[in-house]
Amino acid sequence: MLRLSILFAALVYSLAAQNNPDAEELNTAVRMHQAGDYAGAIPAYQNFLRRHPEMGRVRSNLGAALAHEQRFDEAIGEYSMALDSDPGNVPVRMNLGLAWYKTGRMQEAFEQFEKVHQAEPENHQAILLLADVGLHLGENKKVIALVDEMGRIDNTDKAIAYLMGMALLRDGNQERAKFWLNDILKDSGSAEARILMASAKLMANDLTGATDDLAIAIQMNPALAEAHTEMGVVRMRTGDSASAAREFRRALELDPNDFNACLQLAGLLRQDQSYADALAYLNRAIRLRPGDAGVRYQMAAIDLSESRAEKARATLEALVHDEPGFTEAHVSLATVYYRLKRKEDGDREREIVRKLNAETQQKQPGAQSPGSAAP
């Protein structure tokens, strides 16, 4: 507030020195803003900016007032215009990133936080936000690289340690993850520690142990969305789809930007043939992770189920181009081709599926090379 007060005092003084009658209007807007009357400050700022659109700092403050009123799309527009006139303004860029984050546009938020980090490499908030958004986007390697770039090994910062540890776990590097998560795991009295324990047990297919840890985590802190998402995954693995759906819905009430909850709930709704509801969650998921292969596949599957074969074909062709090893996408594409009476294309996709399955089998433990004798 002090910075805002000094900044706008200078602007008001400058206008007053020019005998500009708008000085009092700006002063009134600032006073309302500082008093927490954001709804009143917004039209006052807007009226002022109609006559002084070049004043990016005022526009930035309008963005802040709009954000306070949860009008994030409008705030994004104001912050963006403010940056057009002052691209090096780090606090405004941070606010723009936060506004994108609040609307669930993680890719756009990541880009802004990345620019803040480049400008201020030691900005702790930017590092935390980058890592958090990176996990939302599934960019585990980027999160790992970000923390490594900090040039120090510090697992005592629990927020950084948790984000780094989760990125390493999801990237399959369990040994490194143990170092970062060691202190958190020692504190078995925290909900976060219980979630981590449950994740490890889930990887080992210990569904009973994972259920017990997650139940304790939810009891400790019912507001942790991730605990409900993980519980939903466990319920799915045990075949209890109804309970799984309830957990995913609860997770999304707590965190509308929980990608995994969106994707898994959409899958359950698709199985129930509630296609419109499933698409609503898939659209939210693709906004969180643009281009995600799993989301695109489910969208194509719904199109196929609802006889939109041409639309499914276009989605699946693009998907197998981007992800040539996605076996299920090739299977579905073969089905689409056969429905469209394109037998030659369908046969080609079936052959690709055969080769991919053979490659997968070869990689299994104990797999034999072609021609080797059975024991």
CA Rg value for the chain: 26
For the chain, give every residue range classified as CATH 1.25.40.10: 1-103, 291-360
pLDDT tens for 77-118 read 999 998 988 889 999 999 999 999 888 888 899 999 999 999
**How much is the pLDDT for 9?**
45
pLDDT tens for 109-120 read 999 999 999 999
pTM: 0.67
8-state DSSP, 347 = H
What distance in Å separates the CA atoms of residue 11 and residue 165, rounded to the nearest whole number? Answer: 47
Classify burial at 337, counting beta carbons within 10 Å of its beta carbon; exposed 0-12, middle 13-18, buried 19 or more. Answer: buried
What distance in Å separates the CA atoms of residue 136 and residue 168, rounded to the nearest whole number? Answer: 14
**How much is the pLDDT for 25?**
77
Cβ–Cβ under 8 Å, residues 269 and 242 = no
Give the number of other CB atoms < 10 A from CB of residue 331: 17
Cβ–Cβ under 8 Å, residues 319 and 293 = yes
CATH assignment of 1-103? 1.25.40.10
Q: Which fold has domain 291-360?
A: 1.25.40
**For the packed helices 259-271 and 225-237, what is the interaxial angle rounded to 10 degrees?**
30
C-alpha torsion angle, residues 326, 331, 335, 338 (rounded to 10): 100
